[in-house]
Structure 1
Amino acid sequence: MKKFKHFTLQQYTDVLSQKKPVPGGGSAAAYSAAMGCALLAMVIEYSKGKSGKKIIEGRFDRYLQLIHTIQDNLMALVDLDAQAYLKVVQSKNQPKAEKRKAEQEAAKVPKQVCRLCYQAIAITPFIVLHGNKYLLCDLEVAIELIRAGYNGAWTLTKL
């Protein structure tokens, strides 16, 4: 299977729109959250160096590193979700125990997306207070993309 994280945005949306089992909602949720993290990183980059306070600048640096790690993990989950769901599809005609095991493994991916989204959202109050005020709208879009990823993944955990 090709790695969706290496697709261009156009390629990804093209394959997402096709009648194929993957990528699907879980992958799209992770991708949405990763885009939100990328936008959040941009806001942090523009905010760095403006405060003149070491403690604030240090937190910007730590948060930027954290948000890049979260973004990388979310991009990995774009593919892991697709791989996990393919195992569910392939287990369709297997014994119940095999099918249940595949479903349980697949359910771990959206839970991880939710955890990462929560971590990303947790840093945004600091960015609202100390970030570049001209980028508050970009920050809000970033938050909404991350929330969309969270909500999509959360929906999948209830199946």
Structure 2
Amino acid sequence: MKLIELKVNEFINVVDSKSPAPGGGSVAALSGSLSSALANMVSHLTIGKKKFRALDEKIQLEVKEAMVVLESKKEEYAKLIDKDTEAFNMIMAAFKLPKETDEDKKIRADKIEEATIIAIEVPREVAENGKSILPALEQLFTYGNQNCLSDLGVSALLLHTTIIGAVMNMKINLSGLKCEDLVSSYQKVIDELTAFSNNEVLSFVNKVYNKL
């Protein structure tokens, strides 16, 4: 059974186990899905309201487009919950390959490198997806139901957890990568995503907090 198909209490108990997966990567992806879903709850509680209908049609369309983005990201993140655990399992499988002969060792090393790249790419996708959520949150901050501001703030905090949590998973897997060019390239991505979340996402969190 896929992780996404588990009941909430079942998922929590699977995380609370001796198994190293699902771990922080899958939980970060879940956080992203919840961030998107919670923001979209604000959309549902905004569209159709009298104040919303009084807005310019162009603005109404932009908010509805933000709603579509949030729905899409919610689904993408849901898939990434399992993808992260699958990536971890690939690394574990690669480390278990035989290493008796020189050929065995080469095959094993190549498989570990391939699996490590996948284990970096999945959290990268988790973190990168978060960049398209913030504009939707900004739209809802300005035009959304003001009674839902605290929900929007929690959504933004979950987004920060998603991005930084995914970045941490990139970093820990980066230490196992042998290709120096790839390490350098991924480090730039890590720095950019970290700066985005620490500056822009947390700035939005503070903006919501100060308006409450």
TM-score (norm 1): 0.95
Residue 93 of structure 1: how far off its partner (Å): 3.1
The more displaced of 89-98 and 128-137 is 89-98
Q: Partner of 1:8 in structure 2? A: 7
Q: Which of 97, 102, 106 in structure 1 is aligned with 2:119? A: 106
State how 1:72-87 maps to structure 2 within 5 Å.
72-87=75-90
Which structure would you say has the larger RCO, counting Cα contacts within 8 Å and 6 or more residues apart?
1
Identity of aligned residues (%): 24
CA contact (8 A) 1:21 1:86 kept: no
For residue 90 of structure 1, what is the amino acid of its counterpart?
A
Q: Partner of 1:24 in structure 2? A: 23
Structure 2: state its 5+ residue gaps. 98-107, 173-212
TM-score (norm 2): 0.72
Tell me which stretches of 4 or more aligned residues in structure 1 moved more than 3 Å: none
Corresponding residue pairs, total: 158
Structure 1: state its 5+ residue gaps. none
| In 1: Cα distance, 2:93 partner to 2:82 partner | 17
| In 1: Cα distance, 2:3 partner to 2:147 partner | 33
Query: What do you get for the CA RMSD once the two structures are aligned?
Result: 1.1
For residue 42 of structure 1, what is the amino acid of its counterpart?
M
For residue 131 of structure 2, what is the amino acid of its counterpart?
Y
CA contact (8 A) 2:32 2:130 kept: yes
Q: Partner of 1:126 in structure 2? A: 139
Residue 18 of structure 1: how far off its partner (Å): 0.6
Residue 6 of structure 1: how far off its partner (Å): 1.0
Residue 124 of structure 1: how far off its partner (Å): 1.4
| In 2: Cα distance, 1:38 partner to 1:26 partner | 19
Per-residue Cα deviation, 1:15-39 (whole angstroms, up to 9, x for no partner): 0111113111100000011111110
| In 2: Cα distance, 1:150 partner to 1:63 partner | 19
For residue 19 of structure 2, what is the amino acid of its counterpart?
K
Q: Larger C-alpha radius of gyration, 1 or 2?
A: 2
